[in-house]
Structure 1
Amino acid sequence: MNQDLNARLAQAQQGSARLHKIDAMLKELEGELQELENHKQELKRILEQETMDVEKLENKGLAAFFHAVMGNLEERIEKERSEALAARLKYEQTLKDREEIGLGIAKLTSERLNYVDCPLEYQELYAQKRKILLEEQGTMAQEILALSDEKNRRRINLKEIDEAIEVGDQVLDSLNQALRNLSSAEGWGTWDLLGGGVISGLAKHSHINSAQADIEKTQSLLRQFKTELTDIRIGTELSLKTEGFIKFADFFFDGIIADWFMQTRINESQASVENVKNQVQSIMAKLHELKTQESKRLQRLDAELSELIVKG
C-alpha cells in the first residue's frame, strides 16, 4: 500500500473534518453575535436610564426632595450609583464580547480558506486507494477501505473530545474563581450591613476590578467550550443550555455590585454561577465517558483491520 497516499488521504480527511467544524463554529458564533447585538441594545437603554436616575437624585430634583423628606436620600443615591455601575459593567462586557466574537469569526473565516478543497481532494484520493486495494486485495478491498476510513474518523473524533475536555477544565477553574469572587463580595456586603463603611466600600471596588477581569476570561472560555461542542459527532447531543448564557456576566455583576442591603442578589448570582458550573460538570462527565468509548472503538478497529490484512 502506498504510504504517501495513505498520509495524504488521512490529511484530506482531517481537513474535511476541520472544514465541517469551522462551518459549525461560524454558525454558532454568528447566531451568538446577533443575540449579543440585541442584548447590547437593551443594556444600553438600561445604562442610560440608570445614569439618568443618579443624575436626578444628585441634581436635587423632585425624587431627591422626596427621599430627603423620607430621610434616606444618601442611601437612595448609593443604591442608584450601584445599579448604574452594574449596568455600565454589563454594557462594557457586552462590547468586549462582541469584539471577541467578531475577531473569532474573522479568524475562522480566514482559516476556512485552507480547507475548502479538502472534501474534493478526499474523494479523489479515496477513489485512488479503492482502485489500488481492489487490485491488491480483491474481494476484501472494500472492507479494508471501510475499516481504514472508520478508524480515521474515530481518531478525529477522539481529538475533538480531548480538545473539548481541555477547554472544559479551564472553564471549571474559571467558574470556581467566579464563585470565590462572589463569596468575597458577600462577605464585604455583610460587613457593610454592620457598618463597615468606607473601608468596606474601597475593598469592594478593588474586588470589582479583579472580578471584571475574571468574568471576561470566564465568558471567553464558556464561549470557546460551547463552540468546541458543536462538531463532536458521537451520535449524541452535547450542548450548554443557551438560556442565560449571553447574560452570564449580567447576573455575575448583579451579585458583585449588589447594593449593600440586598444580600439575596449575591446569593441569586451564586446560584446562577453554580447552575452553569453544574451544566459544565455534567457535560465533562459525558465527554470523559465518550472518550473511553471512542478509545475502545479505535482499539477494536485496529484489531479488526490487522486481522483482515493478515488473513489477506
Structure 2
Amino acid sequence: MSDTVAETMLPETMTAIAIPVPGGPEALVPETRPVPRPRAGEVLVKVAAAGVNRPDVVQRQGNYPPPKGASDIPGLEIAGTVVAVGEGAEAVAVGDAVAALVSGGGYAEYCVAEISSTLPVPRGLTLTEAAALPETFFTVWSNVFDRGGLKPGESFLVHGGTSGIGTTAIQLARAFGATVFATAGSPDKCAAIEKLGAHRAINYRTEDFPEVIKAETGGRGVNVILDMIAGDYVEKNWKAAAVEGRIVQIATLGGRSTVDFTRLMLKRLVHTGSTLRAREAPFKAAIAAALKDKVWPLVEAGTVRPLIDSTFPLAQAAAAHARMESSAHIGKIVLIVG
C-alpha cells in the first residue's frame, strides 16, 4: 500500500546531479535518476531552485557523506511546488509553493522533504529567493539565537560576513536588536557588510579583528561569536569575546586548533558547536516553527531578505561550485532547476 495520499501525474525519471567519484567541481555530473516518491510524513517537491552551500562542496570532495538513509545527491535546501503528499503530511497540498531544508537530494528536478522541515514561501519572494533561505536561516537561528543565546542589546561577531551564513546572520542579529560586527577579506566585501547593517566591518587581511573589537566595544568584547574558521581563530575569538561570552562553532575551514585554555577559564567563556544535517526531525521541526513565527514576518516585511550573489542552471552545478570555492561571492549561490 502506498504512503502517498495525493499527487499529480509524475514522470518516472528526472535529471539530477551526482558525484560518481569525489573530486573538484568537475566531479558533479548530470545523471538520469528515478523520481522519488514521498513516504509517510514527507512531500515531493518539483524543484524550481536549489541553494548551493559549503557542505555541498565538502560532500563533493568526499569528506561529508550523507546521513544514513539520505539521498546521495547533493543539495540541502530547495524551493518549488508540492506535487505529491505522503500520509501525515497533509498540512500542505499539491500545488503549494514551499521552501524546505533537506538532508540531500536538492540538486535534482524532484526532491523529497520531511513535512516538519517544509515552510511556505514567504509572501513577496520568488522561488529562487526562497531557495536561499532554509539552510542558512535554520543554521543561523539554531546557532546564534538558540545555542548562542543572543539577546537584544548584546554585541555579535560573525566571520565570513559575505557568505550565505554571514549575510543572514548580520541581518537577523541586527533585526533582533544586536550590535553587529563581521569580518571579510576585501574593501568591497566590507562595504557590502556595512550596507547590510553591520556596525563595523573588519578586513581580516589588513586588520587584527580582536583589536578592532576591543576598540569598538570599549574593551568589553562581544557577547556572541559565530565562527566557521577554527584554526588560529579559536584563541583570537576568545580574545575578542566579552566576559561570559559565547562562541558557536559551525565549521572548521581553518583546520585544527592548538589552544591555551587560560583565557577561556579567566573569561568564563562557553565555546560550543553543532552540525545540522544529521539532526533528528523534531529538532529541525522546532527550528522551522520558530522561523515561521519570528522570522518569516520579517522576510515578508522586507526587513530581512536573502542576498543572491549569482544563479546557474542545474546542468552548470560545477560552475556554481567553482564560484563558491573562489570565495568571490557575496551572498547566496542558487541553481535554477525548473
TM-score by length of 2: 0.19
More strand by share: 2
> Bigger radius of gyration, 1 or 2?
1
Give the TM-score, by structure 1 length.
Answer: 0.20
Q: Which has the bigger relative contact order, CA under 8 A and spacing at least 6?
A: 1
